[in-house]
Amino acid sequence: MQALLLTIDRISALAGKIAGWSIVVLTGVICYEVFARYLFRAPTSWAYDTSYMLYGFLFMLAGPYALSRNAHVRADFLYRSMTARRQAMFDLPLYILFFVPGMLALIWFGWNFAWLAYLQNERSSVTPEGPLIWPFKFLIPLSGGLMLLQGLAEMARCAVALRTGAWPPKLTDVEETEALALAEAQRAAAAGLAHAREESGR
């Protein structure tokens, strides 16, 4: 079970990292447009379409990655002080009642939305020769499917926490600066306390 959960984490991480690289491309597109428009007086006809598609790509595919890292915003000032079992008692019903139906709706309606755009061979209406937009719309059901997959993994973790009283380990590749600083402060405090005890024992 743990191997399967970590595999799902890796899939979400891969989606997030691929989406992350779109920031580099998006930055390049915006910089090129600014230089072309204001330096050479030759604005592009494709920068706007490209920029919002890249931003949408980033936003949609970063969702599963954020869920796998517990990075979504939540009012957790009480939640963080609870035991793992109690946290799971809150999380699991919320996943079942709200998250799963929401993701199924996103997949269902997103697929119909994208399929209709494909049948119409839809193009962007922003510019005269706008790019095809239906491949971009297929990101909606894709991201919904990845979110649902990661959500099922989180539900399985809730079940484990309810049974054992501890959260199973998650795949981690980055840590918040705040968490790193807190851990470093705790290590320094422990080292200082040990040194003080050693000095007082002499």
Per-residue pLDDT for 169 more than 80?
A: yes
Give 73-116 pLDDT, tens digit per residue: 776 678 778 899 999 999 999 999 999 999 999 999 999 999 99
User: Averaged over 185-191, what is the pLDDT?
Assistant: 79
Q: Is residue 125 classed as helix, strand or coil in its secondary structure?
A: coil
pTM: 0.79
Instruction: Domain ranges for the chain, please list them.
Output: 2-171, 175-202
Percent share of the chain, pLDDT over 90: 51
Average pLDDT, the chain: 87
For residues 104-126, b (16+ Cβ closer than 10 Å) or e, as one string? eebbeebbebbeebeeeebbbee
Span between the terminal Cα atoms of the chain, in Å: 52
Which residues in the chain belong to E strands, given as ranges?
Answer: none
